[in-house]
């Protein structure tokens, strides 16, 4: 049985967010998780219950989760989803993930100043999209495209922002990646991720904004390769962080 790395994209995103990634990272097979309402699942209604979605993920990867042969990666809002999956596993009496990695994700204890974002109008959400980056400026003039983007974005935000808080304590290690120039997730708040697990928490800061550049993505993949590797991965990751 292969170890798997389950990857959750940003709000409004999908598996395409990981299309440039290699098939394996650090010995784990990369599995992008697609939420309903987009890409290969475009005909399905948006998910409305984070608890139900987490259950679906745990069921889909039952053997790997039961064997503790899985790790979780979440970008932006995907970090909160990854955290929910880990807590859902522990709540079922299943092993926690080998490691959780979050990138460009606000700590749950430090929500966005405008939270809950899903309650705001299209103008506010469009402003957020511009601040986050990732969408070419000309695309904002395409009304049909933006209607689809905003609907998907709002659904994902609602999914996470309306979820009941969990009291499950985690003990697995957590790797936090932040962009040095990410105004939406300032480096100064990344330390608050330490509240989410009793395990080791390491923080890496890369030269990027909210969305990673190609160079920053390569750097993060190098760190993940060490972190998820078979041999002395944690120590090699910490050595890499010490020089970051």
- DSSP 3-state of 103: strand
pLDDT at 32: 98
pLDDT tens-digit map of 162-181: 999 999 999 999 999 999 99
Question: Is 81 within the bounds of a domain?
Answer: yes
Confidence (pTM): 0.92
pLDDT at 227: 87
Question: Is 132 within the bounds of a domain?
Answer: no
Q: Where in the sequence is the domain holding 108, given as residue range(s)?
A: 4-112+167-242
Residue 131: is its pLDDT beyond 50?
yes
As a whole number of angstroms, the distance between CA 75 and CA 57 comes to 17
Question: Is 182 within the bounds of a domain?
Answer: yes
pLDDT tens-digit map of 28-71: 999 999 999 999 999 999 999 999 999 999 999 999 999 999 99
Cβ partners under 8 Å of residue 143, min gap 6: none
Question: Is 220 within the bounds of a domain?
Answer: yes
Residue 73 is part of a domain; what is its CATH number?
3.40.50.1820
pLDDT at 57: 98
Q: How many domains does the chain have?
A: 1
Question: Is 215 within the bounds of a domain?
Answer: yes
Question: Is 206 within the bounds of a domain?
Answer: yes
Question: Is 123 within the bounds of a domain?
Answer: no
pLDDT at 237: 41
Question: Is 126 within the bounds of a domain?
Answer: no
Q: Are strands 174-179 and 28-33 parallel, antiparallel or unpaired?
A: unpaired
199, with CB counted inside 10 A (0-12, 13-18, 19+), is middle
Task: Find out whether the peptide bond into 230 is cis, omega within 30 degrees of 0.
Answer: no
């Amino acid at each position: 049985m292969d170890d798997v790395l389950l990857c959750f994209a940003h709000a409004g995103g999908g598996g395409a967010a990981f299309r440039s990634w290699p098939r394996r990272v650090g010995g784990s097979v990369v599995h992008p998780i697609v939420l309903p309402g987009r890409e290969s699942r475009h005909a399905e209604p948006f998910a409305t219950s984070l608890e139900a979605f987490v259950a679906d993920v745990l069921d889909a990867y039952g053997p790997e989760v039961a064997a503790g042969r899985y790790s979780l990666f979440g970008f932006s809002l995907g970090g909160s989803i990854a955290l929910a999956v880990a807590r859902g596993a522990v709540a079922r009496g299943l092993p926690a993930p080998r490691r959780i990695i979050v990138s460009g994700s606000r700590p749950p204890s430090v929500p966005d100043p405008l939270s809950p974002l899903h309650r705001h109008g299209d103008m506010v959400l469009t402003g957020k999209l511009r601040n986050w980056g990732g969408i070419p400026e000309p695309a904002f003039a395409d009304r049909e495209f933006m209607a689809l983007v905003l609907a998907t974005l709002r659904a994902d935000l609602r999914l996470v922002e309306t979820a009941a808080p969990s009291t499950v304590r985690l003990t697995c290690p957590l790797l936090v990646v932040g962009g040095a120039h990410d105004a939406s997730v300032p480096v100064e708040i990344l330390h608050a991720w330490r509240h989410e697990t009793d395990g080791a928490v390491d923080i890496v800061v890369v030269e990027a904004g909210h969305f990673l550049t190609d160079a920053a993505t390569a750097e993060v993949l190098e760190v993940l390769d060490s972190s998820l590797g078979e041999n002395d991965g944690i120590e090699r990751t910490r050595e890499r962080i010490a020089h970051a």
